[in-house]
Chains A and B, each alone.
Chain A
Amino acid sequence: MTPTEGPAGEVVLRLDGITKRFGGLVANDAISLTLRAGEVVALLGENGAGKTTLMNILFGHYLADQGSVTVFGKPLPPGQPRAALQAGVGMVHQHFTLADNLTVLENIRLGTEPLLSFRGAGAARARVLALAQDFGLAVHPDARLGSLSVGERQRIEILKALYRNARILILDEPTAVLTPQESDALFATLKKATARGLSIIFISHKLQEVMAVADRCIVLRQGRVVGEVETRGTSRAGLAAMMVGETLAEAKVAPGPGGPVRLRLAEVSAPGLHRVSLELRGGTITGLAGVSGNGQAALADLIGGALAPLSGRIEVDGNRPSGAWTPQAAIGAGVGRIPEDRHKTGTVADFTLAENTALETYRSRFARRGVMDWRAVRAHARAVIDGYDVRCEGPDQRIRLLSGGNMQKLILGRVMEEAPGILIANQPVRGLDVGAIAYVHARLVAARDAGAAVLLISEDLDEITGLSDVIHVISAGRLSRGFARGELTQAGIGLLMAGQGFEHAA
C-alpha cells in the first residue's frame, strides 16, 4: 500500500464553523478545526463539551446547522454516514463494534466483503497480515475474537479501519478501557501510523496522555473552542488552565451558615480512591472539582454505600457505621443521593412516577408487614410532584416519558423529602436546560441553609465555584485539602486538576 496523500503537513481534514443546536442548547458553537497529514490532534474537553456531537457530525450521524466538513480537499456531503468512511475517515469507538463469535479476519472483512466467498479470503488474509506487520499490530487472523483481551480487540478495530483504507483515524477515549501497558502499546502504534502519513484525532480527557501523544491540542468547553496549543510549548498545568478558563467564576450565592461535621472520611481507600480524607460539614456546600474519570464516581459511590471501603474509616455524625456500609446503611444514616445517571441508576424507566418515588423508602415508609400501601405512595408522589414542580400528568404516569429536567426534579424531591443530613449530588444538572439548572441549584442551596452537608460533584468548574463554600480537587483518585471560598486561584486549581501539588504522591 502506498500513501496517496501529498507531502506531509498538507491539510487532510477541515471542519469549518460547525454549529449544532439541540433546542435551546448549543452543543457546538462555530467550531473550526484542521488536521494535517501525519499529525495527532487531541480533542480535550469534559463530558458535554461537544466532542461527541462534533464527531457525530463528521460521521454524518447528525446534520450540522451551519458549517462544512472537508476531507482531502473535497467537501463531505452532510448527513451521510458512508461518505466519511469512503473518504478515508475511520473511527475507533470506546465501545467496540466487533462480533465475539467471529475470527479476527472475519471481523475485519465484516461489512465490506461477503464472508462466505472463498475468493478473496486469501488476498484479505495477506493484506491484513501486511498491515499488521506495517503498523506493529501483532494479531492472529484466525483467533476467535471472544478469546482476545480488550487491548487486542482495540488493535483489531484499528486494523479494521486501516483495512478500509482509512487515512484519518479518530479514537474516542481509546485508553479508557486499557491497562497502562496496553496504553503504551497503543501509543507506539499511533507513532508508527503517523510516521506512515496517517492523521489522528485523539479524544481524551487525560492530560498526561494528551501531552505524550498529541502534537497539537484543541480544548473544547461548553461547545466552543477555548484554546489551541502545540503540546511542545505547554505543560499539563497549562492544558488544565485552558480547561479551567481565564478566570474563576464568582460565587453566585451567599456563604452557607456552616455547622458540625456530618460525614468524615479518614484515609479511606477503595477501588479508584487512594487514602481519601474528607469532612462534610452541615450548612456547607462542599464542591468536588476535577477532570472527569479521576475518582468522582468512586467517591460518590463510597459515600452513598454502593462501594465498600478497603481501608480507612467512615464516620457519620461521629459514629462509625455498625454493620457493612451498603446503600441501605447509607440511606439509613441520612445520606441522600442524587445519582450521576438518572436513567440508568436513578429511575426505573417503566415504573410510574409514584413507584419511582418509593424506590429507596418502600420498606421503611410505605409497607406494613410486607404489604405495600400504594395509597400512601401515591399521596407522597403527589406531594413530591407539587413540591418540586415536576411537570407531568400525575403519579401514575410512566417516568420514561418525562423530560430530563422533570425526572431530575422528581429524584431531587424523592431525596429531599427524607430531609437528608448529608446530600451527595453527582452531576445534578448535567444535560438540563437553564430553568431546571437554576431550580436544582436553588434547592441544593436551600438544603444547605436548612443544615444539610452537601457534596456537589461536577465537571463544570463554574458550577463548583459558583455554589461551593469549600472546594476539593480530585485527581487520579487522590483528594486535595479543602480550600475555602476565594482561597483557590485559577492557576492553583489548574495545577491540582493536572495532578500536581498533592500532599502524598502516589
Chain B
Amino acid sequence: MRLEPIAHPGLARRLGPPAAAIVATVLVAALLAALAGANPFAVLGQIVTGAVGSRFAALETLNRATPLIFTGLAVAVAFRARLWNIGAEAQLYAGAIIAVLLGTGALGSPFVLPVSALVAMLAGACILLVPVLLKVRLGVDEVVTTLLFNFIMVLIVSYLLEGPMKDPMGMGWPKSAALIKEARLPRIVEGVRLHWGFGLALISAVLVWLIQTRTTLGFEMRAVGQNIRAARFAGMPVNAVLVKTALLSGGLAALAGWSEVAGLKGHLSSDLSPGFGYTGIIVAMLALLHPLGVVVSALFVAGIFVGSDAMSRAAGVPTYIADMLLAVALLFMVLAILLTRFRVVRG
C-alpha cells in the first residue's frame, strides 16, 4: 500500500474524512464510557451539556480555552517554521512569574498591565531563545532542550513559591501574594466571569494569521519550514528567521501564563497549568497549524475538558476519558487530513 497525492480533491474528499473522524471519535468515546460501566449516550450528552449547556458552562469553556489559544498559537507558529518548540509550558511559567513580579506592587497603574504583558512576552521569548541559539549555532536538537526547560521552570517556580515569592499571608501554602487590582485583567462584561485574556487571545490569533499570510517574515517562516535548503539558496536569512520565530512563539506561550495569573487566578501557584503547554501541541496539530483554526480547536479541546469534569461529577466516569478522547480525536483527525490530500493505492 502506498499514498498517492490527489491533484484536485473534490468537496466530498475534503469534507468526508474529517467528518468520518468526528463520528469515529464519538463512537470510541461511547465505547470508553460503556467500558466504564455507564450509559454511553448519557455520558456523551453530559459532556456536551457540561461544556456548553449553560451560560456558566460556556463561560467556563471560554476561560479554559484562553491559555490553550495562546499555547496553541505558540506551537503553531514554531512548528510552521519546523522549529519544534515542545517547551511552551516553560515559557508559560516565565510569563506567569513576570505577572507576579510586576503585578504585586512593583509597578503602579496605569502602566502595569501593558508593561507586565510586554515583559512577560520578552521573558518567554528569552526562555525559547536559549535552545534556538544552541540549535542555530551548535546544531543542538531543540526538541530535547525545549522539553527539558519545562522541568527546569517547574522547579524554579516551586523554589520561588517556597522561598522569595511565597505569600507571607498564605497560611503556609506554596502560592504567591495576590496581584494588586490594577494588575488584574478586567472582565469583558461586568458581572460575567470572562476576562480580557480571552479577547487578547483572539486578537493574537488574528495578528499571527496576518503575520503569516501578509508579511515577509511570515513568507520566510513558511519557506524555512517547508524547504530550508531552498530558503537558504534563495538568500533568506534562515537563522534570523528562526530566532524571530522563537521570539514570537515564546512570547505567545508566555501570554498564556500571564493571562492565567492576571485574568483568572490573581496569584501564582504551582498548579497554575495542568499541562497547557503540552495540550497546546494537540491544539495546534488539530488546527493544522492554522492560527485561526487554533481558536476553534482550543474551544473544542477546552469544551471536552470542561464537559468531562461536569460529566464525571454526574456519571462517575473518570475525567481521564477527556485525555483519551483528545488523543483519539487527534489521531483520527491527523489521519483524516492525510486522506483529504492522498488516496491509498494498493501495490
Contacts and interface: CB of A to CB of B under 8 A. Distances in A.
Interface of A: 304-306, 326-328, 330-331, 337, 339, 344-351, 355, 358-360, 362-363, 367, 370-372, 374, 400-401
Interface string B194-218: 0000000000000000000011111
A348 B215 contact: no
A348 B216 contact: no
8 contacts: A327-B235, A339-B233, A347-B227, A347-B230, A348-B223, A363-B216, A370-B215, A371-B216
Contacts of A351: 222-223, 226
Contact of A367 (B216, B223, B234): B216
B235 A331 contact: yes
Closest 9 CB pairs of A and B: A327-B235, A328-B235, A359-B234, A345-B233, A348-B227, A360-B234, A367-B216, A348-B226, A345-B229
A360 B216 CA distance: 12
Contact of A350 (B214, B226, B234, B237): B226
Interface in B6-21: 7
Nearest to A301: B233
A362 B216 contact: yes
B231 interface: yes
B219 A344 contact: no
Interface in B218-257: 218-219, 222-223, 226-227, 229-237
Contacts of A327: 232-235
B219 A306 contact: no
B219 A346 contact: no
A350 B234 CA distance: 16
A362 B226 contact: no
Nearest to B234: A359
B3 to A, nearest CB: 14
A93 B287 CA distance: 40
A442 to B, nearest CB: 25
Contact of B233 (A346, A372, A374): A346
Interface in B284-332: none
B216 A349 contact: no
A355 B230 contact: no
Given A362-B219, A371-B215, A345 B235 contact: no
Contacts of B229: 344-345
B226 A349 contact: yes
Contacts of A374: 214
A400 B342 CA distance: 14
B6 to A, nearest CB: 10
Nearest to B227: A348
B266 to A, nearest CB: 38
Given A331-B235, A348-B223, A401-B7, A370 B230 contact: no
B68 to A, nearest CB: 27
Nearest to A373: B214
A371 B230 contact: no
Given A305-B235, A327-B234, A344 B227 contact: yes
Given A351-B223, A370-B216, A372-B216, A306 B230 contact: no
A326 B227 contact: no
Contacts, number: 67
- By secondary structure, the B interface counts as helix
Nearest to A337: B233
Contact of B231 (A304, A348, A349, A367): A348
Contacts of B218: 372
A344 B230 contact: yes
Nearest to A342: B230
Contacts of A350: 226
A372 B217 CA distance: 9
Given A344-B229, A348-B230, A372 B235 contact: no
A371 B237 CA distance: 17
A475 to B, nearest CB: 26
A327 B238 CA distance: 12
Contact of A346 (B214, B215, B226, B230): B230
Nearest to A414: B234
Given A305-B235, A327-B232, A327-B235, A372 B215 contact: yes
Contacts of B5: 400-401
A16 B237 CA distance: 53
A146 to B, nearest CB: 14
A34 B217 CA distance: 58
A505 B229 CA distance: 34
Q: Which of B5, B215, B231, B233 has the most CB of A within 10 A?
A: B233
A306 B214 contact: no
Q: Which of A305, A326, A355, A372 has the most CB of B within 10 A?
A: A372
B320 to A, nearest CB: 32
A328 B229 CA distance: 14
Given A370-B217, A371-B214, A372-B216, A349 B227 contact: yes
Q: Which of A305, A326, A359 has the most CB of B within 10 A?
A: A359
Q: Which of B5, B215, B216, B235 has the most CB of A within 10 A?
A: B235
Given A370-B215, A374-B214, 11 more contacts: A306-B233, A327-B233, A328-B235, A344-B229, A348-B227, A348-B231, A355-B219, A359-B230, A360-B235, A367-B215, A372-B215
Contacts of A339: 233
Nearest to B7: A401
Contacts of B236: 359
Nearest to A339: B233
B206 to A, nearest CB: 15
A127 to B, nearest CB: 35
A374 B229 CA distance: 23
Interface string B108-148: 00000000000000000000000000000000000000000
A344 B227 CA distance: 7
Contacts of B230: 344-348, 359
A367 B218 CA distance: 12
Contacts of B222: 348, 351
Contacts of A344: 227, 229-230
B222 to A, nearest CB: 8
A475 B226 CA distance: 35
Contacts of B223: 348, 351, 355, 359
A345 B234 CA distance: 8
Nearest to A341: B229
A360 B220 CA distance: 11
A316 to B, nearest CB: 15
A327 B237 CA distance: 10
A352 to B, nearest CB: 11
A101 B230 CA distance: 31
Q: Which of A330, A346, A348, A367 has the most CB of B within 10 A?
A: A348
Nearest to A367: B216
Nearest to B218: A372
Contacts of A328: 235, 237
B307 to A, nearest CB: 36
A394 B347 CA distance: 33
A350 B288 CA distance: 14
